[in-house]
Amino acid sequence: MDSIIVQGGVELRGQIHVAGAKNACLALMPATLLSDEPLTLTNAPRLSDIRTMTLLLESLGAEVRSMQDGRVLAMSSHDLTSHRADYEIVRRMRASNLVLGPLLARAGHAVVSLPGGCAIGARPMDIHIHGLESLGATIELKDGYLHAAAPKGLKGAQIQLRFASVGATENIVMAAALARGTTVITNAAREPEIVDLVRCLRAMGAQIEGEGTSRIEIQGVDRLHGATHSVIPDRIELGTYMIAPAIAGGEIEVIGGTMDLLPAFCDKLQEAGIEIEPIERGVRVRRGSGRPRAVNVRTEVFPGFPTDLQAQMMALMCTADGTSVLEETIFENRFMHAPELVRMGANIEVHGGTATVHGVERLKGAPVMATDLRASVSLILAGLGAEGETVVNRVYHLDRGYERVEEKLGACGARIERVRAE
């Protein structure tokens, strides 16, 4: 397996361009299943998760062409040949479950394996199932597969989500777009990725209002047509690279992102003493002299602090002045990076869903192991500010969500290289 080697102690200066949002693109791609006309996505990220979703869609009979070095995905689902999403593909990525709603809406039935992805918690499917059953589907779990059917079609309903699940909101919105009548989702997720999906569906002819709020109303239509849609910038990549100069020192312009994608995160960085300034094409981030200040963080659904930036923030707090408390409320089992940071000299105590970080003067490079996608990049960030060499092993997770991270950081002066597995 590949490794990333980081030589710490170098300040960063330069520009980093943010790619299209992985989590948005993974929801937009299954939307092609809702129509027999072409759907084209621009500003697509070049990631292994996108390739996995491509394989899944192709296994269902969709055509997916990658153009302009992977930045454009031209898709067509005019002739679906299967309604079964097999375990061998679905196990690689949690977002594979997003074909369930579109297949039900378009074909009236679907068989979808229970999903995989990073080992950061159970992330159950019950919210998805409840929403789709409310629309009139019958769903049965057999041998690790969800067998869903709606032979008479789906019908609009009032759906109250017990938790503002992003994936469940996406699945239900796509299914309801072709349901008869009106669907109202309350306690809906408000994330920018939801807003992006709705804008794409609206371009395809869907009648949806309320995206970005906790109440989304969908008036079902008979059919959707083709469209071309540009994927929003990746706010998690944006936040990750904003933390890089906060840890290593220096100044970086992150091009393509905006602060309104990460309101709570930007507030916490500024509270820690990091200078953030909006510029014409993105965000400028600078760390002044001295250590960052310790701040407390509690992960929440949007617009709160993103769980996908908790590991990166912990890496920053490891060398902050004072003690910080990080509370993880979205996923259990998401502090697996903490023991690896301790190997680098961090002082971290984990009790259940809370991690207490006592800041130290400086971390020291060490061999560490990536346990999931966001943990892998947090260890790279920690290595940027550490003394000596850090070797991050098992970085196959990294390529699921970060596009050529070593090239982007290297262009800003980081001494970082990828060692390919033989």
Contact 375, 382 (CB under 8 A): no
Tokens 């100069």 belong to residue: 245
Among 275, 273, 276, 277, smallest CA distance to 290 is for 273
Contact 19, 45 (CB under 8 A): yes
Residues 6 or more apart in contact with residue 280 via CB below 8 angstroms: none
Instruction: Kindly write down the DSSP assignment for every residue of 233-281, as one continuous string.
Output: B-HHHHHHHHHHHHHH-EEEEEET--GGGSHHHHHHHHHTTEEEEEETT
Nearest-10 crossing angle of helices 166-176, 126-134: 20
Asked if residue 91 belongs to a known ligand binding site, the reply is no
Here the tokens at position 364 are 């020291």
118 labelled catalytic:
yes
Asked if residue 364 belongs to a known ligand binding site, the reply is no
Tokens 């019950």 belong to residue: 126
Contact 315, 294 (CB under 8 A): no
Asked if residue 372 belongs to a known ligand binding site, the reply is no
In sequence order, what E strands does 77-193 have? 84-85, 109-113, 138-142, 145-149, 158-160, 182-186
In sequence order, what E strands does 104-246 have? 109-113, 138-142, 145-149, 158-160, 182-186, 207-209, 215-219, 227-230
C-alpha pair distances (Å), 156 with each of 173, 185, 359, 377: 11, 10, 52, 42
C-alpha pair distances (Å), 81 with each of 27, 64, 332, 373: 21, 14, 38, 33
Measured distance between the N- and C-terminal CA atoms of the chain, rounded to whole angstroms: 8
List the catalytic residue out of 118, 200, 266, 318. 118
Peptide bond preceding 102 in cis form (omega within 30 of 0): no
Residues 6 or more apart in contact with residue 188 via CB below 8 angstroms: 161, 164, 169, 194, 210, 213, 214, 215, 216
Asked if residue 22 belongs to a known ligand binding site, the reply is yes
Task: Mark the binding-site residues, compressed into ranges.
Answer: 22-23, 94, 308, 330
Residues forming the annotated binding site for UDP-N-acetyl-alpha-D-glucosamine? Answer: 94, 308, 330
Residues making up the binding site for phosphoenolpyruvate: 22-23
Q: Which residues are catalytic?
A: 118
